[in-house]
Chains A and B, each alone.
Chain A
Amino acid sequence: MQRHLISAADLTRDDAVLILDTAEEMARVADRPIKKLPTLRGRTVVNLFFEDSTRTRISFEAAEKRLSADVINFTAKGSSVSKGESLKDTAQTLEAMGVDAVVIRHGASGAPYRLANSGWIDAAVINAGDGTHQHPTQALLDAFTMRRRLVGRDAGIGQDLAGKRITIVGDVLHSRVARSNVDLLHTLGAEVTLVAPPTLVPVGVERWPCEVSYDLDAVLPKSDAVMMLRVQRERMNAAFFPTEREYSRRYGLDGDRMAKMPEHAIVMHPGPMVRGMEITAEVADSERCTVVEQVANGVSIRMAVLYLLLGGNEPAVSHARTTEEK
């Protein structure tokens, strides 16, 4: 792994499997009476959130605290800090306080990349979602959820998602979750199909390692997992689709549609769900829907990423370990 986690595309297959395996061990900590490990004691992690996202921040915070890191939360939402100087100045201020890692959520695509590569700071940078670019820990927790459900909790150790057919449905154009998932799932050997109205698929998608379909009903029977993306109602006003009703009729997942999926197939959603839009309550509350599981898995994945980036004197890299004293 590199020193930072900016994009799911930066992960090799072995890196990704290592993170998933490590997360599987981290998950077991949650079953213990004391849900805490001393691993990152004395390390300081700042959660630098320029965009409101309570769930992601809480998930990172829980992961950091379970690893005994010192946690600083910095929320800079709102337009007053939308100027670029703020990112640089804020980051440098935090670094002056001795921060070892910055978990950053930012509305501008590329802000974490810039933070990691501009020479502004030395700390490790973990991307917690940037604009419409990437959200790598979300993709990892999704892959983790799929591996558990489709391969098995123990059987999955050391395994990837080779041959699994994953369908991602919805606003691909504006989705960092879709981008990260396409990259990571492809790396893990899965076959990804994007389903969306043509208006919500980016120009240039033809170079992505996936298929694109406009017909949800045709794809469902061939899916091992169906991931529904949130569709914001505002998109309707920008003429991406005519009406909410037409959208849900063509691209929403309801009980009838779910019945077309193979029996073992699961329904996923990165949350927050817009019930009645991309997903009906019947589907959202069904046994096959993994939304709640995904949240729990998010903590394990983030613990794994934090451990593998910060747990040693350097990130877990792709070379043999040095000999050491026992």
Chain B
Amino acid sequence: MDNKQNKQEKPDTAVQASDARPVLEGPDIARVLTRIAHEIVERAKGADDVVLLGIPTRGVFLAQRLAAKLEEITDRKMPVGSLDITMYRDDLRMHPPRALARTEIPGDGIDGRLVILVDDVLFSGRTIRAALDALNDIGRPRAVQLAVLVDRGHRELPIRADYVGKNLPTSLRETVKVLLAEEDGRDTVLLGAKPTS
């Protein structure tokens, strides 16, 4: 198996730079994350019991960036980790098994903490459902919140985000692809048309 390809946890791989147009560029993404960080501090009353858990692959980088911003704002060390949801997915039987990504829970755990899940795109909500199940096996947070860079709509489950970078109305025939410097070499969000097959 080609590990490189499988690192793309939720690939909208069909999106090609050529036929997709950017809806958020590098500076926009930085601005959006700064805003979300401020919202977290405000709503979590100082964010002193926050634990950030990114959902691989790109949610992890976003969580790390958010943590850095939060540390700037609060001047405190911000616990940040990753939560792989692969083995909790409800569509496992519909695809070949995926390579697993790392689950890294910060040292003090999540019991009694405010866990903020961080992902790049919120779509059907199934990923977040899986994440809630996974959390359940790891501990009992005081509360769980969700931060996403893009909410593209079309929810299939009663799930909503607490912090949204950009609401992006899309059609089901479109694809949304988040590129981040850590993984892809540049920061951008692309909206493209699904290839007709």
Contacts and interface: CB of A to CB of B under 8 A. Distances in A.
Interface in B141-167: none
Given A21-B100, A38-B133, A317-B1, A312 B92 contact: yes
Nearest to A154: B102
A325 B123 contact: yes
A158 B121 contact: no
Interface residues of A, number: 37
Given A14-B1, A326-B121, A321 B98 contact: yes
Nearest to A18: B1
Residue of A37, A311, A313 most packed against chain B (CB within 10 A): A311
A326 B124 contact: yes
Nearest to A22: B100
Q: Is the interface of A mostly helix, strand, loop or mixed?
A: loop
Contact of B1 (A33, A38, A316): A316
Given A28-B103, A326-B123, A326-B127, A317 B96 contact: yes
B93 A313 contact: yes
Contact of A15 (B1, B14, B87, B100): B1
Interface string B85-96: 001100111111
A21 B99 contact: yes
Contact of B95 (A15, A26, A321): A321
A28 B92 CA distance: 20
Nearest to B140: A33
Contact of A311 (B87, B103, B123, B127): B87
A17 B1 CA distance: 9
Contacts of A79: none
B182 interface: no
Contacts of A207: none
12 contacts: A21-B3, A25-B102, A28-B103, A34-B137, A311-B92, A312-B97, A316-B99, A317-B96, A320-B2, A322-B95, A323-B13, A324-B95
Give 6 nearest A-B pairs by CB, closest first. A311-B97, A312-B97, A25-B100, A39-B87, A34-B137, A326-B123
Interface of B: 1-3, 5-6, 10-14, 84, 87-88, 91-103, 121, 123-124, 127, 133, 137-139
Interface of A: 1, 14-15, 17-18, 21-22, 25-26, 28, 32-34, 36-39, 67, 158, 307-309, 311-318, 320-326
